[in-house]
Structure 1
């Protein structure tokens, strides 16, 4: 079993530390201002008043640099361990190749396995809501007679690892479940949110069109399914939703540019770093029975996700694309309430089991 240790936590300089209380004060002030003026907001802002305040606070919080965020927040191992113990569950970590780890949520001997890649711009650790959402999901499914567990990847964050490190680790997690955990592809679902949705689709692409720097992974049958929440598959910032949803979403264009720049680290984008770049015909032989793409109507990534979903569906008809009404980016992880996309995922996963 891997040890649970703090990883990717930098030592901040004097000015970086001094900036933290100022940003925290700004977050509070912007949230208060949003609450005071929110009654006068127009259609370019979230319809839900609480969501309006939350989005303003999160966007302001993105002023923390990636280094400051890593300094302030728990690492993925710490998030996993503390959340599991708070729920009365025993953490179970597996060391994986290429300096990655896999974390079990649920019974690791379950027949079905959901391999999951978390989001966060490739720069931020998993959140507590990542663990709780999937712990709740599999509990509901198993209480209804299914037999499924989650295998949650801890991959290297930028700038400590850059593309294609994270994709190599994502492929490695799936390889482990196939070869070491002895699961059939027909009993495996792969998924991810945001940057993790990028990894889920890039991993699927790798199965039929291997990345030249990553060992191929051959399946004897298709995966049961692949899904992605708000997949960040297109790093461009010129889609209409980038401006139309700028005041509705928690993401910002500047934040996306910072994260994608750190991920690519000077390399040009390609078909695996941005799966939307892959030609349509590359998806025709996708090694999965079904694909599900989920997005929020209020997110700035919406235009890119819609274009990608349409491209894939033209050659892979077993693709379902669902947009959650009045939902921000990864709403199921942030708003603290049930969402349309979260409910749709549960139904879709149940149908794959």
Structure 2
């Protein structure tokens, strides 16, 4: 499927966007040694400040014109690594029992590694439900597969990164159905759920929890899916689990992270179809439902989740604006898990001090020759799921 080229959003708007960022970068660079409230490194501090400034005002037409599509990023990644691209079309409405067939609604899944690998990571990328995947996702999973698959003591692994639909063009619960259709596709092509790891970061982490919620409590507007056995695991990297921006971490970490509060509110409203007349204006507080905002549920919601997925790992950074929302949600999830009979040690949450939002992904691009503790702990968890 090919999408029409995005319309040019205009030189005036793009020029104003860049002009706002330049003085911010200069100010942060000059004042870095003298400020107590700052990111962990000089480059993070300057870069994140510029990114926050851009995200505060950038519009969807501007991001559509400036950003390559997920498919374009994937093809560029494959070309640079001299590997053959392999994308599949997932029929969203035709792949699940009880769904209305509509072959016109398909999404692309992009393989990183051999689709016949022993274990597959179904990956849902971040971007506030409105932005396409960036290069870092492909690099992260490519590196992990290359390093893991040479070890005969572990099962081989590949990743299917789903190019699910973006808001506001398509809204909730479309993205949940698309992700569920990709999972169903893997199962229908002969793969046991016990060989599938559900994973995602930021909005993709929240979407992963939405899919798990749907598997346990079928959404009334979506076809249900019954698993023959629990999924192998769920890896949630800086998951966007609640839409509230009232947590203390939005103030405490306001100058040490890359995200921006009004941007999160705008993008959440676009995803939920709750935008004001001007979708680019700040809608104020935004709330979802049990599926779009799964960690707004109480412990009872999560009882029985151990029958859906065998192990769950939450990773988040101490410098994240989303830190408190994730940190406060984990105990509720874990209590419901154990009340339903799940073993407590199978739900793991790790906070990396001074880690920023989705740092395990970001640092693959910014520091490709280094491996921080945030990546080490995630890779160790993954390898344990792959032991023979």
Matches of 1:10 and 1:158 in 2, distance apart?
Answer: 15
Tell me which residue corresponds to 1:85. Answer: 79
Tell me which residue corresponds to 2:311. Answer: 290
Instruction: Report how far residue 8 of structure 1 moved.
Output: 7.0
Instruction: Report how far residue 350 of structure 1 moved.
Output: 0.8
Tell me which residue corresponds to 2:144. Answer: 137
Matches of 1:192 and 1:217 in 2, distance apart?
Answer: 20
Matches of 1:148 and 1:21 in 2, distance apart?
Answer: 44
Q: Is the 8 A contact 1:46 1:247 kept in 2?
A: yes
Q: CA-to-partner distance for each residue in 1:102-142, whole Å, 9 max, x for gaps?
A: 11100111111010000000000000011111111111111
Tell me which residue corresponds to 1:147. Answer: 156
Matches of 1:240 and 1:33 in 2, distance apart?
Answer: 25
Give the alignment partner of residue 339 of structure 1, picking from 364, 372, 380.
Answer: 372
Tell me which residue corresponds to 1:301. Answer: 322
Instruction: Report how far residue 85 of structure 1 moved.
Output: 1.4
Secondary structure of the residue aligned to 2:146 is helix
Give the alignment partner of residue 198 of structure 2, picking from 178, 190, 195.
Answer: 190
The reply on whether 1:176 has 2:185 as its aligned counterpart is: yes
Secondary structure of the residue aligned to 2:149 is helix
Query: TM-score of the superposition, structure 2-length normalised?
Result: 0.86
The reply on whether 1:37 has 2:31 as its aligned counterpart is: yes
Instruction: Give the 5 Å matches for 1:52-71.
Output: 52-62=45-55, 63-71=57-65
> Which structure 2 residue ranges, 5 or more long, are not aligned?
93-105, 276-286, 338-343
Give the alignment partner of residue 116 of structure 1, picking from 111, 114, 123.
Answer: 123
Matches of 2:259 and 2:272 in 1, distance apart?
Answer: 19
Q: More deviation in 278-287 or 82-91?
A: 278-287
Q: Is the 8 A contact 1:8 1:75 kept in 2?
A: no
Q: CA-to-partner distance for each residue in 1:249-285, whole Å, 9 max, x for gaps?
A: 1001111001000000039611110011222122121
Instruction: Report how far residue 310 of structure 1 moved.
Output: 1.1
Matches of 1:13 and 1:56 in 2, distance apart?
Answer: 24
Secondary structure of the residue aligned to 1:210 is coil
Query: TM-score of the superposition, structure 1-length normalised?
Result: 0.94
Matches of 2:233 and 2:5 in 1, distance apart?
Answer: 35
> Which structure 1 residue ranges, 5 or more long, are not aligned?
none
Instruction: Report how far residue 229 of structure 1 moved.
Output: 0.5
Matches of 1:232 and 1:151 in 2, distance apart?
Answer: 21
Q: More deviation in 337-346 or 211-220?
A: 337-346
Give the alignment partner of residue 7 of structure 2, picking from 5, 11, 30.
Answer: 11
Q: Which contiguous aligned blocks of 4+ residues in structure 1 show a shift greater than 4 angstroms?
A: none
The reply on whether 1:161 has 2:192 as its aligned counterpart is: no
Aligned-residue RMSD, C-alpha: 1.5
Instruction: Report how far residue 13 of structure 1 moved.
Output: 4.6
Matches of 2:362 and 2:73 in 1, distance apart?
Answer: 16
Give the alignment partner of residue 383 of structure 2, picking from 341, 350, 353.
Answer: 350
Q: Is the 8 A contact 1:8 1:157 kept in 2?
A: no
Secondary structure of the residue aligned to 1:292 is strand
Matches of 1:141 and 1:213 in 2, distance apart?
Answer: 39
Q: Is the 8 A contact 2:196 2:231 kept in 1?
A: yes
Tell me which residue corresponds to 2:218. Answer: 210
Aligned length: 345
Q: More deviation in 204-213 or 25-34?
A: 25-34
The reply on whether 1:234 has 2:242 as its aligned counterpart is: yes
